Every structure is written in C-alpha cells, then in structure tokens.
C-alpha cells in the first residue's frame, strides 16, 4: 500500500464497509517528521499529548498517533493511525467516543511500557483508566 491511498474500509465499531476513504499506509521513505507533514495535507493531524495533563502520546519521531474526522453520505467517520518507525496501521470508527477509546489504548500502551511519559498512577489495564486520562489534552487559556 502507498503511504496515502483511497480504499474501502470497514469501521471497527459498526462493521460498515465504506468506499473511497483516504487511508494511511506504511511510510519507509523518510522519517516520522516527514510522515507528519505528508499526512497533514490529507486532513490528518498527529496528536502530541493525551489526558487531562497532556502526557506524551508516542515517542516522536519514532512512534506517533494521528487522527482525522471526515464524513461519507451517512455521517461522520473518525480515523486513527499509528506510525511506528514507518509501519502504519489505520482504523476508522463511526463515533468520536470510539476514536477516543482507540487513542486512549495507544496512550496506555506506551505509558505502561515506559515508551512515553504518562501518569504515575496507571492501573493494570487500559479499561480501568479514569476518565481524566481518556480525553484530548486542552490548554486552558485564562
């Protein structure tokens, strides 16, 4: 598969087959920062931080998680792509909640394995994470 292609995908949460979706594939031509720039032109964004305190999401430029929101004739589609030294996996969901869950699972994996700085009080499983660790990081401008 090319780094960026149009393909038929099956949503992970609803099991629908959807034609003509922009999908991210393996990218071994250059490094992670080049991949980040390439996917931005297709409506994807690498998510740098996750959770209430903005803990690291991945280990740039070697491991990154990207997200997108697009739509088809039925409704919204939410994508998640993981980049690990050029190997890319890409999944789609119908709901933002399921997209957040997929990103949270990635964050937990990297936090738990010491590959990214995360909360000090991690539970044993991602399903046990408190809600404050399952949300996008936002900066509160006062």
Q: Is 10 helix (H, G, I), strand (E, B) or coil?
A: strand
Which residue do the tokens 């430029």 mark? 61
The whole-number pLDDT of residue 2 equals 83
Residue 103 and residue 47 in contact, taking contact as beta carbons nearer than 8 Å: yes
pLDDT digits (tens, 9 = 90+) for 71-112: 999 999 999 999 999 999 999 999 999 999 999 999 999 999
Rg (Cα) of the chain, in Å, rounded? 15
Q: Please give the average pLDDT of every successive group of 10 residues along the chain, which has 142 residues.
A: 90 96 95 96 96 95 96 95 97 97 97 92 95 91 58
Angstrom distance (rounded) from CA 122 to CA 115: 14
Q: What sign has the CA pseudo-torsion 116, 121, 125, 131?
A: negative
Task: Give exposure, 101-121, as e/b (b: 16+ Cβ within 10 Å).
Answer: bbbbbbbbbbbeeeebebbee
The whole-number pLDDT of residue 96 equals 97
Q: Spell out the alpha helix ranges (H) of 10-136.
A: 32-40, 96-112
Tell me the C-alpha to C-alpha distance, in Å, between residue 90 and each of 21, 78, 128.
11, 11, 25
Q: Is 18 helix (H, G, I), strand (E, B) or coil?
A: strand
Residue 3 and residue 38 in contact, taking contact as beta carbons nearer than 8 Å: yes
């Amino acid at each position: 598969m090319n780094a960026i292609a149009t393909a038929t995908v099956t949503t992970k949460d609803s099991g629908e087959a959807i034609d003509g979706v922009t999908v991210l594939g393996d990218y071994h031509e250059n490094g992670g920062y080049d991949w980040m720039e390439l996917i931005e032109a297709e409506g994807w964004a690498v998510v740098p931080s996750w959770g209430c305190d903005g803990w690291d999401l991945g280990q740039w430029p070697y491991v990154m998680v990207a997200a997108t929101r697009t739509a088809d004739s039925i409704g919204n589609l939410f994508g998640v792509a993981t980049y690990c030294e050029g190997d890319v996996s890409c999944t789609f969901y119908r709901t933002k909640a399921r997209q957040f869950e997929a990103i949270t699972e990635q964050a937990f994996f990297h936090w738990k394995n010491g590959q990214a700085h995360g909360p000090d009080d991690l539970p044993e499983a991602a399903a046990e994470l408190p809600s404050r660790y399952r949300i996008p990081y936002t900066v509160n401008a006062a």
